[in-house]
Structure 1
């Protein structure tokens, strides 16, 4: 029942934000903050319960809550939690709090509707990470997309309409293909057993023919690859990132992309193991191409948010490479990459929002020498830039190191190709620091360094990326059972 409350807190909080905004525009901020903090407190409590239960050593489900919903069609309200879902929910509420804080002064109008969409997007993401009924999974998949569309189209930048339409069309096209695959699996299961069910655990035992299974898997895989995103399905991402408000970019980079990785791990690998293995080399190739392509395009950008967006394309290539390496070390690296990318790239987007608020531009050619005026922001930017390029003792290094070690045993050639991405990531990361914070000063107006609210956000992100870099073992232990079962 606690999983229901985690989602309900966000849904109810979002509705209250919208309803109470007409009395005072401050109410939505505090309601949203209280809702996300309450969710994080519950998640910390769940983590402690999970650790004390000893379930982390196995692959059993820690929480398995099922309630009949539409029994005539075999639809249930089925939520379940294991180590993988637990880690992702913890990341969701952590970044959810930061998304509320970075919106505190940025949003100037329609505060109630804004925080309504923000909390409902987070609720949809939470639902995706725990839904074990495929109809319910698709329902939450759509719940997280529609509010994000409004966040971009209403509170985005100059070209927000184009970016929001593109985001919606790409992700909706993938979602519809996934729906067709879900329905195909549903009817094949009914034909084989005589029972209509959307339940994940029932569909695990469905055995379509080899050719049919391949096409059903491709429907799932396409939807998740669009969301990840994988080259060449990535073109919606830079536009959405560059036009979204800061919180929108933070949620996109830190959470929405991770639903694609989660979907591949949870559904593609388990429902279609043979077909996934047959596609493995091609998926690793797409991952290696994405690593290099994203790095090249990031180096060529002058728009700060587009530059950071292309780094996400590059980093998500490591995720695809590690998933389809089919070994435990690489899969552990994938989960670490999901966490560390959400923190480091999320921090860079928060930083970009701070700079946009002060300079009213995203063009890095109009910046320069900002470290002198804002030394604390410059120091934080250096830390997360170093994390992005994989500096040892920071979380991203652990993730990429594990992925490359695991992938080498699967394909040495593709791993060597992917390793070049680490060199190119240093090129775009150092260019970004040079253009923005170092070199001759181009801004003459007085600039304020980070305020207390921004200090709190950057301190939390800093602690997170350093702890994951120095002591990743708790995360590895938490998902060890899940990863072992997946690889087996």
Structure 2
């Protein structure tokens, strides 16, 4: 029942939030989000580090079709459940400096999206996975469309069309796999689908690989399916951008691990190099575009695109280092990107600008902001002893083992990432104070309440990565045994 509780609590919280008014709305939403975090931490502490699915619940959903409401948590799911329960409370806290029109709806949508995300990462039935996969799209669409920038309608419509288009391909693949399960009464649980997939020939696997790859590549996104991402990240309110970049894009990387690798291993062997090359192109392309950006929010959007490319390349390398690196990097990236987007929001609130050319000298009056900004930046560029280093090292090791030349090109992320992140910090924080940064005030208590824990996690995960790696390793080894 613990997994069911993880899904139900944000739904109940969202419904209660809809009935609140005034400042109580933020407090109620935050209180429930921290209650969800406490439940997530309890599950983390109770998890036994083996390959089994734990805290499982299953009952008939659509009995005549053999579809079950089946949920549970293994090591692969656990790290993403931890990410979701960790980030949502701080995303809500980050909004305390803003007043939103129709705030109850705004916070309820965040909580509903959290429930859907937990559902995606814990589903053990392919159609339940698809249900939550689509359900997660609805709240963030309305968050971006209602509370976004001037071009929000055009941009969110593009985002909606892209993701629905990809999801249709995934649905076709899931239905086909469901029909391959033996007997008149087909089954849709993961174990039955994995077993049925063993009978697929290379042609069948190729079509399913293509459908899954398009769906997950759009959601992440990967090159060349990324064109919706920068505009959506910029136009969405910062809380929406945090949800998209910090958590939602991980649905795509999780889908690659959970579906593509174990279901169509022969197709991965045949076409995996194409996927890796596209991923590496995304790393270099995203990094070069990030270097050229003048807007801080758009720069971080492209940096996120580049980081996702490395995660994808590591997953398709098909070895334990690549997959373990991708999992730990999902957590690290979520922490870093949420913190960085929040810092950009703080700067914009105080200066009414995100343009690097108009900023400068902020560090002269903001020792706290400067320290947190630099810690999060160093985590993003994978400095040793930060959270980003662990995942990036394992990812590059995995990609290099897959193909040395591709690994060498992917390694450019270390250099290019340092260029665009150091450039952003230097131009925004150091140098001469500009007209709009004069009198820039340091962090408030609520802002410190967000940035201190995130910065602490950057260092803690860098110093003790095994607190997660040891939990994911058995499930990854089992996954690799299915592939081989």
- Please give the range of the TM-score, normalised by the shorter of the 2 chains: over 0.9
* 2:65/2:185 contact within 8 Å kept: no
Whole-angstrom distance in 1 between the partners of 2:28 and 2:71: 26
Matching residue of 1:45:
42
* 2:234/2:298 contact within 8 Å kept: yes
- Count of equivalent residues: 478
1:104 counterpart = 2:101: no
Matching residue of 1:77:
69
1:450 counterpart = 2:443: yes
Whole-angstrom distance in 1 between the partners of 2:212 and 2:397: 28
* 2:222/2:282 contact within 8 Å kept: yes
Secondary structure of the structure 1 residue equivalent to 2:70 = strand
Please show how residues 214-293 of structure 1 align to structure 2 within 5 Å: 214-293=206-285
Whole-angstrom distance in 1 between the partners of 2:450 and 2:326: 25
Secondary structure of the structure 1 residue equivalent to 2:222 = coil
Alpha carbons of 1:184 and 1:104: their partners in 2 closer, same or farther (altered >3 Å)? same
Matching residue of 1:302:
294
* 1:107/1:155 contact within 8 Å kept: no
1:145 counterpart = 2:145: no
Match of 2:32 among 32, 35, 49: 35
Q: Structure 2, unaligned stretches of length 5 or more?
A: none
Matching residue of 2:190:
200
Matching residue of 2:353:
361
* 1:13/1:35 contact within 8 Å kept: yes
Matching residue of 1:6:
6
Whole-angstrom distance in 2 between the partners of 1:174 and 1:2: 32
Match of 2:166 among 174, 194, 202: 174
Secondary structure of the structure 2 residue equivalent to 1:205 = helix
1:210 positional shift: 2.1
Whole-angstrom distance in 1 between the partners of 2:309 and 2:358: 31
Whole-angstrom distance in 2 between the partners of 1:71 and 1:209: 30
Q: Structure 1, unaligned stretches of length 5 or more?
A: none
Q: Deviations over 1:160-184 (max 9, x none)?
A: 1122112111111111111111111
Q: Deviations over 1:328-359 (max 9, x none)?
A: 12211111110111111111001111111111
Q: Deviations over 1:167-223 (max 9, x none)?
A: 11111111111111111111232xx43222222111111123321221122211211
Whole-angstrom distance in 2 between the partners of 1:445 and 1:132: 54
Whole-angstrom distance in 2 between the partners of 1:175 and 1:330: 26
The CA RMSD measured in Å over matched residues stands at 1.3
* 1:33/1:101 contact within 8 Å kept: yes
Whole-angstrom distance in 1 between the partners of 2:447 and 2:209: 44
* 2:7/2:119 contact within 8 Å kept: yes
* 1:106/1:357 contact within 8 Å kept: no
Of 393-402 and 273-282, more deviation after overlay is shown by: 273-282
1:445 positional shift: 4.2
Whole-angstrom distance in 2 between the partners of 1:134 and 1:464: 33
Whole-angstrom distance in 2 between the partners of 1:279 and 1:89: 30
1:107 positional shift: 3.3
Secondary structure of the structure 2 residue equivalent to 1:193 = coil
Whole-angstrom distance in 2 between the partners of 1:15 and 1:128: 20
* 2:117/2:136 contact within 8 Å kept: yes
Matching residue of 1:412:
404
Whole-angstrom distance in 1 between the partners of 2:212 and 2:117: 17
Whole-angstrom distance in 2 between the partners of 1:67 and 1:29: 35
Matching residue of 2:461:
468
Question: Could you tell me the TM-score, scaled by structure 2's length?
Answer: 0.96
Whole-angstrom distance in 1 between the partners of 2:179 and 2:437: 66
